Structure 1
């Protein structure tokens, strides 16, 4: 029996660095599970689109697909866009079963990746001292999604015994620059910003720009195609594959 195909589904961006990162992460998933058919797809703004990938899988004989949304925040895309395209795919292909898993999300395990990225940024900026941290994320009109970022920021701060503020690149305050300036008004001069974004693009670039303008000593790169994220994708896939098994 052929295992369900795995589709990593990202939102998409006009920035080619974003698509390259998603492809690299998908390649890492493929490396960890060479027995699976693993494909990357995008909701919009980048190719290949989700339906094109599903069409290709169906043509290759797959009748079961597990979709892992490469989204860090719950919100409109996770709750509306992804279920919509999943249903459209099943409507277009009679007999096809597609299971959407939980989003990638903000797992505490990702804090280790975040720390690695921040250490790289601190080394590059020759910074040896920190007295505050900012966790920058995309932001959402859904307050529950923003609260998840704030919770992760508290966990991260407790790990490092430093004050941490959550900041957002869009849809919710504070912006990264505002968070950095707030710490500096308290007399904290060595404020670093960690980028809780999956891939490079306009929002992480803007968040970094605002933070540096406000006096941040360093801003990390996004999480990228780290093996920890790939393992989480496979954990989501495993649950989705089980849910496809008839009971």
Structure 2
């Protein structure tokens, strides 16, 4: 996976200061959220100390994105720590970039879908399964609910479904069903109920073998709500997993390799 990282951003002459990578988090009232995204930003810095990296939040936490952009000069690439297309990526980020008229800006694609996220989700599920395993109940995962925030934008559901397929492949074909905390159906609780009723007919299936994968960058109200709906295994959010840090840099590099720097240039792709 390290092949995704190049020694210097595309289009950056030797000796020139690379554009600032602005990691854009949503924000949460949960104090663990700020700690988590700060750890992720620090992991990105450790991978590429030559790139200036800053953090900005859409709401609820400081620094706010507007304040981060106001303090910058030159060029910046906004990398959303968001997992699919939706209002924040399509509207909020371009508007924030447009207001920062003193900067030359570009907006990278959201983190998902991408195989690196499937790698991180798989790792978090494995960690949770190990924690729940007992001699009498090995907690073999037989189905997964991919718990996402949810959006009214249909592209967000397309992206979640693509991630579910990637995770299922990573789990050697274990079924993975996307579900949502808000604004879309099914809810996580409904998805768990459907999978539970389907599996009751098989003598070796147990509801506690249905796991909930937390498709959230950091802890927060929605992540907690989704974990509470898990009948057994509930994975932690993605957090500062090394694969996520590599993906942040990959999206930054993708953006620099794309169209001319402009807040209108929203790169979307895997």
Residue number in structure 1 paired with 2:146: 135
Partner-residue secondary structure (3-state), 2:224:
helix
Residue number in structure 1 paired with 2:89: 78
Deviations 1:177-201 (A, max 9, x none): 1111111112142211111111100
1:116, 1:132 → 2: CA distance?
Answer: 16
Residue number in structure 2 paired with 1:122: 129
| TM-score calculated relative to the size of structure 1 | 0.89
1:240, 1:156 → 2: CA distance?
Answer: 25
Aligned alpha-carbon RMSD (Å): 1.8
1:21, 1:244 → 2: CA distance?
Answer: 32
1:205 has 2:224 as partner = yes
Q: How does 1:52-71 map to 2 (within 5 A)?
A: 52-58=67-73, 63-71=74-82
Of 158-167 and 36-45, deviating more is 158-167
Residue number in structure 2 paired with 1:87: 98
- Residue in structure 2 matching 1:160, options 172, 185, 190: 172
Partner-residue secondary structure (3-state), 1:25:
helix
2:48, 2:178 → 1: CA distance?
Answer: 35
Partner-residue secondary structure (3-state), 2:152:
coil
For structure 1, the residue ranges without an aligned partner over 5 or more in a row are: none
The alpha-carbon deviation at position 244 of structure 1 amounts to 5.0
1:221, 1:230 → 2: CA distance?
Answer: 16
Alpha carbons 1:97, 1:244 under 8 Å: kept:
no
| TM-score calculated relative to the size of structure 2 | 0.81
1:229, 1:177 → 2: CA distance?
Answer: 27
The alpha-carbon deviation at position 47 of structure 1 amounts to 0.2
More helix by share: 1
Residue number in structure 1 paired with 2:111: 104
Of 156-165 and 71-80, deviating more is 156-165
The alignment of Structure 1 onto Structure 2 pairs a total of residues equal to: 234
Residue number in structure 2 paired with 1:191: 210
1:200, 1:166 → 2: CA distance?
Answer: 18
The alpha-carbon deviation at position 245 of structure 1 amounts to 7.0
Residue number in structure 1 paired with 2:55: 40
Deviations 1:171-230 (A, max 9, x none): 11111111111111121422111111111000010011122xxxx221100111112111
Residue number in structure 1 paired with 2:236: 221
1:153, 1:38 → 2: CA distance?
Answer: 30
Residue number in structure 2 paired with 1:180: 192
